[in-house]
Amino acid sequence: MSPAPVIIAVDGRSGAGKTTLAVELAARLRAHRKVSLFHLEDIYPGWDGLAAGIERYVTTVLTPLSRGEAAAWTSWDWENHYDGDARVTLPAEIVIVEGVGAAAEAARPLIDAVVWAESPDDVRRTRALDRDGATFEPHWDRWAAQEDEWLGRDDVPGHADLRVQNLADGSAPSDVLQLLPYLPALAPTLAPELSARLGLRLHAERVDAAPDAPALFQSLYGASANAVWLDSSNAGTGGYDASDPAERTAAGRSRFSIMADDGGTFGQSVTHRSGVSRISAGSCTAKVPGPFFRWLDSVWGRRAVRTPEGYPGEFTLGWLGCLGYELKRETGGSDVSAPTPDAALIFAGRAVVLDHAEGAAWLLALEAPDAGEWLARTRAAVQTAAAVAGPTAEAGGSTGVVPSPPPAFRSRDTGAGYREKIAAAQHEIAQGNTYEVCLTTTLEARIPAGSLDPWSTYLALRRRNPAPFASYLRLGDVAVASTSPERFLKIASDGGMRAEPIKGTRRRAADPEEDSRLRTDLATSLKDRAENIMIVDLLRNDLSHFAEPGSVTVSRLCAIESYATVHQMVSTIDAQLLPGAPRAEAVAACFPAGSMTGAPKISTMAILDRLEAGPRGLYSGAIGYFSLNGAADLAVAIRTLALNTAGDGTVELSLGVGGAITSDSVPDEEYEEIRTKAYGVLSTLGATFPEA
């Protein structure tokens, strides 16, 4: 008797390519361990024997193998239509069972992972008959009827851990092997495959050119279903005083922009909703239950590549995308569901990084068979986009986005209702339940699909309101257009941590004297300073959970930074990560951003759930990257428009706005502040703040 093996079932209807997939998986897995392979077609008792074959397989093959015992079973003689010879399948470290019914309901309790292979009906029939010829053709319909009956009562695809669209182009085995190590039941056994990811080699190539960024993104990723542009859109806008430390810090945030998709050998994407992550690679999608930050810890935080010599950036490929506010369920908040994903990321095995300070583009690619072709194509695209760059270049060629008619936004709260919630928040403060409540509301509009182009919308927003943490994300059915000025959390590859909360906002004015008065008013406001300092204290605590003792410092307190449409009060908190500390947990300890909750965080989030009475979605979550060298840089998702494509031919636009409520807050002033914050996005769309 051997130790119990790990059992992988490869199931699917006839002609889905299960046998080829299973044989190839077994061959590749044998590189590191012993693998045993069993085919159900050897045990079905005839052309009417699907149900009986499944029963025989579970009883005589799967049950003993799951105990680590040899399985003695009787084969079926397809020529003589009777029982054949006796056979034995030996246990091994990994057992792959393959065939229609391999993951049937009676088998699933004994199986560690279910792979469901699927192909279009016409492809399946052609593939099956090409393989088995005249033997199978007279029986195709009767066998298919048995499959229909079985699947009608047993939803095997719905229970699959991994589903693969088997295109018969040779890609399925590699795609499956990319995702199998993510399954918790297989991770210990597939440790060699996971370890191989820590030995990746990164190619970095500098191109001395300053391309027009929108033109380059559109050229490289305009047709990509999943693509991310972390866009320091205020780079080169000037206006920074190099003698002012606060403004030097602000300028430093705008040095790099990153653009990538999930194409190529290593490309993957993940979407997390309500405790389940769905990871896709090529033709495959894996379903992994469990908390998102636990999954993130399994794929990020350990240094997998070296930063190339001469490369000045922190991003060395990895995961990029967004985290929604509702991930707070994992960090002390309650469980609320949202229409948008709780997290959506792509893994980029190749990317372009624009260094705005040096006027250069860096091409980054993990070594792979398709890396050379991508580098050549991208090098040419950078040069082409550089040729059109300049002060007269139109960003992406767009001239405007206002649809006709403009979107009619509705607000979750009326003006009177929002003011009542402010009073309720102040009552909680008076009761000693919180010190500060970051109360938000949501503006929404439903429009016909195709009436508003997300890409053109983002280009218009970035022209109107350039920001250091602007971003454009296209992630399946969700698009995000953000002009965020606020950093949530940065973790450098050497473990340096930084948070830069914004609390305190004033509008910009066209008249210089009025604009200066507004800036001074913000700088001298006791209320705004109190808001900011409370959040600074909260973030000092958040960072301290995984920081070296004594390393938490406040290097800037209540500095004023000016952007295209607002003046804002910003502070900077720094710390040093404990050596060996789990970086994903360090991010979770700070999530969601304290500037979007209030203080103390957990009790205030509970108050916000009661007051807001609805999900925030992506708003007040985070947007950024998790790099292969252990670095991360995340912005707070504010000034952010989410576009969620529904299945009914419409798109739901969502814009969150809010402000910090203290005991000194004046309801009318707080309501005016959220109108000011919404103005930049709404006016770009030709829309107005809903009055009610």
Q: Which residues are annotated as catalytic?
A: 486, 503
Two structure tokens written together for 92:
């091994």
The number of residues in the chain equals 692
Question: Cα(135)–Cα(433) distance, rounded to whole angstroms?
Answer: 75
At residue 269's C-alpha, the angle toward residues 216 and 623, to 5°, is 65
Q: Which two tokens stand for residue 483?
A: 């002009």
Instruction: Using the CB atoms, write b or e for 65-94: b if 16+ within 10 Å.
Output: bbeeeebebeebeeeeeeeeeeeebebbbb
Which CA distances in Å does 210 have to 47, 207, 256, 360? 66, 9, 12, 5
Contact present, 565 and 680 (Cβ < 8 Å): yes
User: What is the C-alpha separation between 148 and 165, in angstroms, rounded?
Assistant: 19
Are residues 317 and 366 in contact, defined by beta-carbon separation less than 8 angstroms?
yes
- Count of beta carbons in the 10 Å neighbourhood of residue 299: 23
Angstrom distance (rounded) from CA 437 to CA 431: 13
Contacts of 666 (CB under 8 A, 6+ apart): none
CB of 403 closer than 8 Å to CB of 447: yes
Site of tokens 């000194």: 664
Give dist(CA 92, CA 87) in Å, integer: 16
Which two three-digit tokens encode residue 635?
Answer: 């912005």
